[in-house]
Structure 1
Amino acid sequence: GDIEGDRTDQYLPLSAVRAGLSDRFTLEDIPYKTGGPARYVEVKETGGRLGFITPLTHNFCESCNRVRLTCTGTLYMCLGQDDAADLRAPLRASEGNDLLHAAIDEAIGRKPKGHDFVIDRTRNKPAVARHMSVTGG
């Protein structure tokens, strides 16, 4: 689809989601961790856990330990940045893994401290043109 289109109508703040859920359920923040970016609550009425991933309203970059490798050999160090490393060239350039390991190490060294998910509401365009679904996010 059109990735340059207006995405401001697709944004739903966590506060609105929690307010809607709180009309029916009691949500309690819990310290449960999985190593991923979700922050969890317990739904008191069911005893279940519910995780929220909120890159715009509650940034999780400080705890991100993830990179994404596409099926075409492109390594994205951040879903919210355009920077990527092509791992095909070092993979094809040698029968050994030294060049590939060096390329991965160099790419990981470029992993940013934050993302650019912010949608510019004056121009209605995201700072990152690539949808997360391109890399499976």
Structure 2
Amino acid sequence: MPSNQDIIEEHKSNLPLPEQPPVAPDWNSADERTVNVGAGGRQEDLSHSGLGSDTLREPATASSGVRTDGEAWKTNAAVGGGREAKDDLGGIPNDAVTRDAKNKPGLADTTGKDYGYPHKSDPSSGLKQ
């Protein structure tokens, strides 16, 4: 009577072999040909800054230009990205900072004049016309 190992080996020998041996997936590769393919590939500069991959889609190698002054600290700071570049602002939008920091120099004035609610569309008036 054959042993269990002999039976296993006999069954394995009858299995069809693949045409090519399988290759382990390369998920941690820095080679973008193997991981950044298809619909997820790079299309355009999403930051609107003109800096390309310095602001988005790549590992963060620059400090935030909001928190770090690149000139003062002699470091790479990503400035002029996102909404600042998209809306062609001269600085950080003042509606993106706290109330205490609203009128500080270097902010771009992005809050429009407050006209209040027009009489007929005041939500506190209910459905009265």
Task: Flag whether TM exceeds 0.5 (same fold).
Answer: no
Question: Structure 1 or 2: larger helix share?
Answer: 2
| TM-score, with structure 2 as normaliser | 0.22
Q: Which has the higher contact order (CA 8 A, sep 6+)?
A: 1
The structure that has the greater radius of gyration is: 2
TM-score, L = length of structure 1: 0.21
